[in-house]
Amino acid sequence: MDFRLSAEEKLILETVRSFVDAELMPLEPELGQAELEGRGQDFPDLETQRSLQLKARELGLWGLQTPEEFGGLGFGQQLMALITMEIHRCLVPFQFGGGADNILFEGTDAQKREYLLPTIAGERRSCFALTEPTAGSDATNIRLEAVPDGDDFILTGEKIFITGGNEADFAIVFAVTDRAKGARGGITAFLVDRAMGFTSRYIPTMGSWGPARLTFNRVRVPAGNVLGEVGKGFELAMRWIVNGRVVIPARAVGRAQRLLEMGVDYARQRVAFGHPIGDYQAIQWMLADSEVELEATRWLVMHAAWLQDEGLDNRHEASIAKLHGAEMANRVADRVLQIHGGMGYTKELPIERVCRDVRVFRIYEGTDEIQKRTIAKDLLRGTAGRGRWE
C-alpha cells in the first residue's frame, strides 16, 4: 500500500481546502446564530447550498465520484476520504454537486434518464429508505411490503430516520416482495417518486441531523421502477451501507481534527495558576490521546478505502474504521469540551454542537454493537485477523 499523493491529487486537496476556508468557514457564525434561533436544521438553505456547489464547479469540483462517462471526475475512495476529511473540518453542512447514490448507476437506461442524470445535474433529489421502526440494525427485518398488482407493485408501510427524506422528490425504497425467501431473495429496491403518493414528516433530533419518517399508504409503483432485479435489493442496500462505513469515519476525522486544533490553541492561550494550561500534564494527556486516536482512525479509513479502490472485499476493515472513528470523535469532542471548561459548554463555541452531532456516528450506518458483531463473526469464521495479510 502506498498512500503518497500524486501532484494532481495534492492540487485537488489544496483546492478543496481553499474552497472550505474561503466559502464555508465564513458561514459558521451565521450557522451559530441560526442554531440559537432554532433555525439550525435549515441552514444553509437549498438556494445557498446550490450557489456554493456552483462556485465549487467553477473550480472543477463537480461529480467527484461520478464516472467520467456521466460527466464526473471518477475519483477513487481514497481521494474521496481525504476530501471528506477536509470538508468536515467545517461545521457548515455541505456536499459537492454532480453526484448520485452509488446504486443509482445500476438502473436501466430509462431509469438513468429519469432519475440518475437529473440527480447528477442537481435537478432532482433522492433519499435512501431502508430503516424502519422495527428494522434498524437488523435490516433483514423490514416490514414494508410490495405486493404485485398487474404491471405494478403496491407499497404499504413506513420508513424512519431517512436522511434527506423531507427534501427528496424520489426515494430508493427497499420493500419485501417475497417474505418466504428472506433478505437474500425476498427484498427488492424501488424508485418511488413523491408524486406517486408517499408522504414525509420531520423528526427532531438532538443534533443538526434532520431525518424524516416516510409513510407509504398503498402507493402504486410501476414494475419498471424496480432498481436492479426483483429479490436482489438487499445486495444493493449493503453496497450503499458499506460505502457509508468508510465515509462516516472520514467525517469523524475532519470533525475531530478541527476540535483538536481548537483544544491546542486554547491550551496555549488559557492561563491558570500562572501558566498556560497546556503546561499541565492533565491537559497534555488529553491532547496526546486525541492525536493518537485521530491518526489511528485516519489510517484505518485509508486502508478500508484502498481495499475498495483495489476491488477487494473491505467489509471487515470498513466496520473497524466505522467503529473506531465513531467512538474516537465522541471521545475527542468530550476532551476538548473539558479543556475549554465552562466556555466549551456554552453555545458561544461550536464544541457543544459537535458533541451532539457526532453522537449519531455511533448509531447510523450500523451501530457500534453491529460493527463489533461483524468484526467478531469474521474472526470466528477465520476470514479476518493475521492470516488476511498472508
Confidence of residue 135 (pLDDT cuts 50, 70, 90): confident
Of 202, 217, 249, give the one whose Cα is nearest residue 365: 249
Are 240 and 337 members of one domain? yes
pLDDT digits (tens, 9 = 90+) for 353-381: 999 999 999 999 899 999 999 999 999 99
**Alpha carbon distances (Å) from 347 to 36, 55, 264, 342, 370:** 8, 30, 20, 10, 33
Report CA 158 to chain centroid distance, whole Å.
22
The CATH number for 62's domain is 1.10.540.10
Are 149 and 282 members of one domain? no
Residue 32, pLDDT score: 86
Domain end among 173, 200, 231: 231
Q: Specify the number of domains making up the chain.
A: 3
> What gap in Å lies between CA 94 and CA 23, rounded to an integer?
11
> What gap in Å lies between CA 226 and CA 119, rounded to an integer?
17
Domain that holds residue 162: 126-231
Q: Are 125 and 111 in contact (CB under 8 A)?
A: no
- Buried-state track 286-321, b at ≥16 Cβ within 10 A, e below 16: bbeebbebbeebbebbbbbbbbbbeeeebbbbbbbb
Q: Are 26 and 94 in contact (CB under 8 A)?
A: no
Are 260 and 384 members of one domain? yes
- C-alpha cell of residue 210: 434532520
Single out the catalytic residue among 86, 106, 327, 365: 365
In a domain, residue 314? The reply is: yes
Q: Are 203 and 211 in contact (CB under 8 A)?
A: yes
Is residue 1 predicted with pLDDT exceeding 80? no
Residue 389, pLDDT score: 53
In a domain, residue 293? The reply is: yes
Are 11 and 73 members of one domain? yes
Are 34 and 131 members of one domain? no
The CATH number for 221's domain is 2.40.110.10
Average pLDDT for 11-40: 92
pLDDT digits (tens, 9 = 90+) for 142-192: 999 999 999 999 999 999 999 999 999 999 999 999 988 887 889 999 999
pLDDT digits (tens, 9 = 90+) for 244-302: 899 999 999 999 999 999 999 999 999 999 999 999 999 999 999 999 999 999 999 99
Q: Mean pLDDT score of the chain, rounded to an integer?
A: 94
Are 225 and 242 members of one domain? no
> What gap in Å lies between CA 98 and CA 101, rounded to an integer?
11
Average pLDDT for 97-106: 94
The CATH number for 240's domain is 1.20.140.10
Instruction: Reply yes or no on whether 28 is catalytic.
Output: no
Residue 227, pLDDT score: 97
pLDDT digits (tens, 9 = 90+) for 306-348: 999 999 999 999 999 999 999 999 999 999 999 999 999 999 9
Domain end among 210, 231, 252: 231
Are 278 and 312 members of one domain? yes
In a domain, residue 251? The reply is: yes
Q: CB-based burial of residue 125 (10 Å sphere; 0-12 exposed, 13-18 middle, 19+ buried)?
A: middle
pLDDT digits (tens, 9 = 90+) for 273-288: 999 999 999 999 999 9
